[in-house]
Amino acid sequence: MNNANDEIASKTIDVRGLFCPEPVFRTKLELEKLHIGEKIKIVADDPASEEDISRWVNRNGHELVSVKKADNDLEFVIKKAK
Amino acid sequence: MTTLTSSNLIERIGNTPTIELESFSTRNVRIYAKLEWYNPYGSVKDRAAYWMIKNAEKKGLLKKDKSIIIEPSSGNTGIALTGIASTLGYRVEIVIPEKVSEETKNILRKLGATIHETSDDLCPRVGAGTDQSIALATAISKPRPDLYYMPNQYENDANFMAHYESTGPEIWKQMAGNLTHFFTGCGTGGTITGTSTYLKEQNNNIKVIAVQAQKNHLLQGLRNFEESAMPELFTRRQHVVDSWFTATNDESFRMAKELASRENLLVGPSSGAVMASMLDTAKSIDHGVLVGIFADDGRKFKSLYAEQHVFNQTEYERLIRINEYLPETACPYSYN
């Protein structure tokens, strides 16, 4: 279950209109700029992003706080963990 | 370091020397190498890069001071495109696998490229290594055609034409038509198809030997066509190849070492592979004149050669110091 407080991201990145692997690549670049513990929101519309971003975040030791679907959009909130 | 301008660039690309490797030649089998690192950005890829950019300009695909040229590359094409495109007034973004050597990344940065580094976990379903870079460069350029142009050396016929119009005629002229076998390494297939098509038009008896790398190789610029798909550019004219040679890492490095000790040449690993192929053929013929493409020199491979125990630092520095075949180019090497 998602806690609304968990979803306050310090920055939102819109990667709608972009397709694999660019949404993951942009996510990676933005996470590199954050401090540990900070969160970022990614808004994507490539259906493959759900699997790609989730897998990449988990494999790289960060925390996927939430994934929301609204119409064709996917909203990821990610916490930098290392 | 040599500085180039848009007006003197074309005069500097091509017309690279072809030399006889006298210590390897015998009375009846002569062995020659075309030294492609005499190109301004240090490799055979200057030809393809220049032809692809000029072809895109002719087609109206590039706008000065606006267009960004983006290309996936693990080395020489990225360097050549960045140097030439920057000279001609275009911004360049190169997409490279993160495991590419720091020497190559430093050269790209010094020449002014924006580098995007890919890792194999970005999108595993597109493949590994350069395949990730191809996917990302495509993903960035495709939705933004007004801003980005991706030459795509793996499909672009200008890559073939570069060698059909320059490398092939140069070899024919330099050898005065006197050659029996032609050898080159294979990556995109541009060099082998373009050069061989021209040479076979002059003399259809010339044998063409394609050199590929072993699987899981360390030979930058070469591919192994069992682990990587053959690029479309190559499959279109694969018929020019008469036979194949698969070079191992070990024999390629051994040949690089022999070329250094016997000819004072500091070559890149793919030239070692081509040399291994030439000597393999030389053993099996009574008479012949063999010409091979040496795609780049060893100035980008200091760390690789140290790791693979090819040259230690003292040997490497000595080779650079004594080598009469290492011209000053526009490529900002950092081997010291």
Token digits of residue A60: 């790289």
Q: Which of B148, B103, B95 minimizes the C-alpha distance to B122?
A: B95
d(Cα B128, Cα B126) in Å, to the nearest integer? 7
Per the document, the length of chain B is 336
Q: Give pLDDT, residue B1.
A: 67
Longest dimension (CA), chain B: 59
Per-residue model confidence as pLDDT tens digits over A15-31: 999 888 999 999 998 99
How far is the C-alpha of B86 from the C-alpha of B155, rounded, in Å?
A: 23
- Number of A to B CB contacts under 8 A, please give it: 37
Mean pLDDT of B132-156: 93
Interchain CB distance below 8 Å, A56 and B122: yes
Closest CA to B159 of B134, B191, B112: B191
CATH H superfamily, domain A4-79:
TusA-like domain (3.30.110.40)
Residue A47 Cα to chain centre, angstroms: 14
Residues of chain B in contact with residue A60, where contact means CB-CB under 8 angstroms, are 121
The pLDDT tens digits for B11-62 are 789 999 999 999 999 999 999 999 999 999 999 999 999 999 999 999 999 9
3-state SS, residue A62: coil
The amino acid at B245:
F
The CA distance from B119 to the nearest CA of chain A, in Å, is 9
Q: Are A24 and A15 in contact (CB under 8 A)?
A: no
Q: Give the CA angle between residues B61, B66, B69 to the nearest 5°.
A: 60
**Pick from B250, B249, B252, B309: nearest CA to B278:** B252
SS3 B300: helix
Q: Which fold has domain B45-149?
A: Rossmann fold (3.40.50)
Record: contact A28-B136, CB cut-off 8 A: no
- pLDDT at residue B310 tops 50: yes
Residue of A17, A19, A24 with shortest CB distance to B122 = A24
- The SS3 call for residue B176 is coil
CB A23 within 8 A of CB A53: yes
In this structure, what DSSP letter does residue B22 have?
Answer: T
Percent of chain B with pLDDT over 70: 99
Question: Candidates 3.30.70.1140, 3.10.450.50, 2.30.110.10, 3.40.50.1100; correct CATH number of B9-39+160-322?
Answer: 3.40.50.1100
Alpha-carbon span B16 to B35, nearest angstrom = 6
Residues of A in contact with B126 (CB under 8 A): 20-21
Q: How far is B93 from chain A (nearest CA, A)?
A: 14
What is the pLDDT, as a whole number, of residue B123? 82
With vertex at residue B293, the alpha carbon angle to CA B289 and CA B298, rounded to the nearest 5 degrees, is 130
The single residue listed with the structure tokens 């950092």 is B334
Token couple for B242: 């008469």
| B77 — pLDDT class (breaks 50, 70, 90) | very high
Q: Give the percent of chain B with pLDDT over 90.
A: 79
- CB atoms < 10 A from the CB of B196, how many? 26
* Chain B interface disruption, residue of A18, A22, A26, A46, most B CBs within 10 A: A22
Question: Which pLDDT tens digit goes with each residue over B90-132?
Answer: 999 999 988 888 888 999 999 999 999 998 888 888 877 778 8
Distances, alpha carbon B325 to alpha carbons B123, B180, B267, in Å: 43, 25, 10
Angstrom distance (rounded) from CA B220 to CA B100 = 9
Contacts of B121 in chain A (CB under 8 A): 55-56, 59-60
Can you tell me the distance from the alpha carbon of A40 to that of A29, in angstroms, rounded to the nearest whole number? 11
Residue type, B33: A
The per-residue pLDDT for range B163-187, each reduced to its tens digit, is: 999 999 999 999 999 999 999 999 9
pLDDT one-digit tens code per residue, B251-267? 999 999 999 999 999 99
Angle among Cα B125, B130, B132 to the nearest 5 degrees reads 35
pLDDT confidence of residue A6:
53
Instruction: Identify the pLDDT of residue A2.
Output: 46
Rounded to a whole number of angstroms, the distance from the CA of A29 to the nearest CA of chain B is: 10
Is B33 in a helix, a strand, or coil?
strand
A52–B139 C-beta distance less than 8 A: no
Kindly list the residues of chain B whose beta carbon comes within 8 Å of any beta carbon in chain A.
Answer: 116, 118, 121-123, 125-126, 132, 135-136, 139-140, 143
- Do B9-39+160-322 and B45-149 fold alike per CATH? yes
Q: What is the ipTM of this complex?
A: 0.75
Single out the residue of B211, B236, B213 nearest to residue B223, CA to CA.
B213
Cβ-based contacts of B125 with chain A (< 8 Å):
20
Chain A residues within an 8 Å CB radius of B122: 21, 24-25, 28, 52, 56
Instruction: Check if A15 is active-site.
Output: no
Q: What is the pLDDT of residues A34-82, one digit of tens each?
A: 999 999 999 999 998 999 999 999 989 999 999 999 889 999 999 999 8
